Structure 1
Amino acid sequence: MDELLGDHLRALREAVATGRLPGRAELDGCRAAGARAAERGLPVRALVDAALAGAEFAGPVPLPALRRTVSALMEGYENAQRSALRREEAARRAFVDDLLQGRADRIAERAEQFGLRLADTYVVAVARPAPPAEAARRIEEALVGRFGSHNVLAAVRDGALVCVVPGSLTVAVGEFTHHVRQVFAPGWRIGVGRAHRGPGGVVTSYREGANAIELGDRLGLRAPVLKAADLLVFPVLLRDRAAIEDLVTTVLSPLLDVRGGPEPLLATLEAVFASQGNQTAAARRLGISTRAVTYRMERIRRLTGFSPDDPTQRFTLETAVLGARLLDWPARPLP
């Protein structure tokens, strides 16, 4: 400890001998000593105790001199800690970025450093739009404080805050959502991927979470939290684009000739389907009368030949409406 605090003790002895307060050079030496203490992992309380104990043997140290040297020690200690935290954050962000892009270079070695067990399953939650860096840091610190750094990886990437947690720790996703709700501005949305195993599984879960947000935006879904497991039908629809285009054209093209355009009728169908066929509830969603909903539904039946009251026809209508939203129809005309 004497070796570590040598500059501090010399500054105090000089102050006792000359009555002069420590100058810039002496204080820089104390800052360097504080930084070395932080790098060696010495607790800050032990550092201060050692500095005060050293002052007892230096003679009648002027209080202003002691205050300056101890303050410089603490400043060096805190600066070193902040630098270490910034390096760790940068390394964590770089690792998460490489992990989500599927870069295999030294992934296993770096994963061990961050407590990631590559044989386990992981879930990725994606929150958009990303908050300011300080807000993202607060969310990460809160999650790490509760679940441990070996269970949570968080970083800002591509305009989103990404959180990687073990598949067995689903409560962490709920906690992540809670903090996003507290910190993010209105309009945020979270996409949650499914649990997958290994580094490749992390990439897959991340893409699922990001795609869930994209689907939610395209479909106009109201829920702020979207789970990829609940949206599996939509990628299936999009895999056969020609078939979904044919369905939309065949079922919904008669609505194009309606005065005022097809959008009010499409919105009515969506509201009725979301309300499990309850037209009164659909009217409340739309802010119109139940009679108006009934009128629109009858008009849809006459124009398309499909009735929501028939189970098979209802499924065809609902699938066509979902396909229209996925294809951004009618804003984008189909081939």
Structure 2
Amino acid sequence: MTVHNSTGLGIMVAGQPASAPLRDFRAVARLLVGHFAANTPCGSLPGEQLHGDVTEFTVKCISIAVQMLDERRAPAESDLAELRAKASQWAREGVPLESVLSVYHEGIQIGWNLVSKRAGEGDAAQLIEAARMFVLLSEKVSIAASKSYVEELQAVASEHHTAAHTLVTSLLSGHNAVSMARQSGIELADSYLVLALSVPPHPDENDPNIQKTVAARRKLRRVQAELATVCGRTPLSLLSTEGGTVLIPGVHDDEWVEALVHRIGTAAEVPVTATAEQAATADIPTAADQVHELLSLAHQLHRPSGLYRMDDLVLEYQLTRPGPGRRHLTQILEPLDSSPELLETLEIHISHDLNRQRSARQLHLHTNTVDYRLKRIAQLTGFDPTRPSGIRHLQAALVARRLESSRGAA
């Protein structure tokens, strides 16, 4: 950029161009860089970066300020191109935005001090005009740099997301995971928590005044943000607005996983259902199939939201395998088909851990009536729901019937 010195047009201070104290670019740059090193977050940058990139950037800012003071105009977009490029570079290198903006604002402040300290009593009008130029410079530079920095961060995040998406796909399929991890720069762990997640619709998704897709995407972003907060950038996930699969490196105990599921539900603002299994990296495909099968099973059985592991659904899981045993179990309850109130009583009695008083309250019946119905169930099925041996068969029969019913509906 060419620096002009049109005294007829430019701002004058103390009988000289206001830009005069800034014209020795290198001297002013050394002053600014020394100030940055001692007084701003830039002091933590490596020396070669501070005296290389920062100095070059500072010289460019000074040259823009000189042109603005000499020509009384805002910088053109082309004048800001180098500053935008530098901000993008620093974003990719991980230089904090605070450091970037400190360079801009501190440099502009020192430049203003160099110009204004020469002013005399008769320079008020010109000084006001110079101040306007510095304010305009701060605005233009801050917007250009922040926009470029954020755009670069978004690009980096997009690259990481694509790499993570590719890697999790490889892990779930069991193909080329090591090679893909090397290409993506993501380190593989020896073990992962494999989490299958089901996220129901948020109330906003059913609000006619809100676009359903917008509400669903907001919910998904909140879940993704919570995962990033809890696990850092390490969780690998394939998530839609309805749920999906999450791979979290390392070994985690039940308490930690339960807390994670609770936090995900809080972020989604809906009660979520999750199933989890710890697996070695090579066993992820098998574990993923298993946790998603458990998740489907929890839905088929109308289980409440929360976290489930194989221990919680092992009987039900085994009963999903068709065979003569399951067919026999479904037949146990056939004598109750003509008495739906008995089936309802049995289900509620089991859900309340065989507590007659709680069952009676939910059914709005006297406990004697509940006792009568339980006796009728025993008479019709041959299995007594008040005895451990009988309740095991009846509970398994209920599960088998639900599974048969859901399979028939499908």
Q: C-alpha distance in 1, partners of 2:241/2:291?
A: 13
- 238-247 or 137-146: which moved more? 137-146
Q: Mark the CA change 1:155 to 1:179 in structure 2 (over 3 Å): closer, same or farther.
A: farther
- Which of 336, 347, 354 aligns to 1:270? It is 347
Note the residue ranges of structure 1 that are not aligned, 5 or more in a row: none
Q: C-alpha distance in 1, partners of 2:237/2:361?
A: 40
Runs of 4+ in structure 1 off by over 6 angstroms are: none
Q: C-alpha distance in 2, partners of 1:157/1:96?
A: 14
Note the residue ranges of structure 2 that are not aligned, 5 or more in a row: 1-52, 116-129, 203-215
Once the two structures are TM-superposed, the CA of residue 272 in structure 1 deviates from its matched residue by 1.5
Q: C-alpha distance in 1, partners of 2:312/2:293?
A: 12
Aligned residues of 2:170 and 2:180 also touching (Cα < 8 A): no
Q: Mark the CA change 1:15 to 1:192 in structure 2 (over 3 Å): closer, same or farther.
A: same
- Which of 18, 22, 30 aligns to 2:83? It is 30
Aligned residues of 1:123 and 1:205 also touching (Cα < 8 A): yes
1:190 alignment partner AA: T
TM-score normalised by structure 1 residue count? 0.81
Alignment of 1:176-325 (within 5 A): 176-186=260-270, 188-200=271-283, 202-249=284-331, 251-258=332-339, 262=340, 264-325=341-402
2:306 alignment partner AA: P
1:31 alignment partner AA: R
Once the two structures are TM-superposed, the CA of residue 323 in structure 1 deviates from its matched residue by 0.8
TM-score normalised by structure 2 residue count? 0.68
Q: C-alpha distance in 2, partners of 1:130/1:257?
A: 36
Once the two structures are TM-superposed, the CA of residue 293 in structure 1 deviates from its matched residue by 2.2
Give deviations 1:157-192, integer Å, cap 9, x for gaps: 583143322462234422321222213344x33222
CA root-mean-square deviation: 3.1
Give deviations 1:272-319, integer Å, cap 9, x for gaps: 223332221222344444344223222222222322234333222221
Q: C-alpha distance in 2, partners of 1:107/1:319?
A: 43
The yes-or-no answer on 1:110 pairing with 2:192 is no
- Which of 138, 141, 157 aligns to 1:69? It is 141
Q: Mark the CA change 1:75 to 1:215 in structure 2 (over 3 Å): closer, same or farther.
A: same
Aligned residues of 2:192 and 2:281 also touching (Cα < 8 A): yes
Once the two structures are TM-superposed, the CA of residue 231 in structure 1 deviates from its matched residue by 0.8
1:24 alignment partner AA: E
Once the two structures are TM-superposed, the CA of residue 122 in structure 1 deviates from its matched residue by 3.1
Aligned residues of 1:125 and 1:173 also touching (Cα < 8 A): no
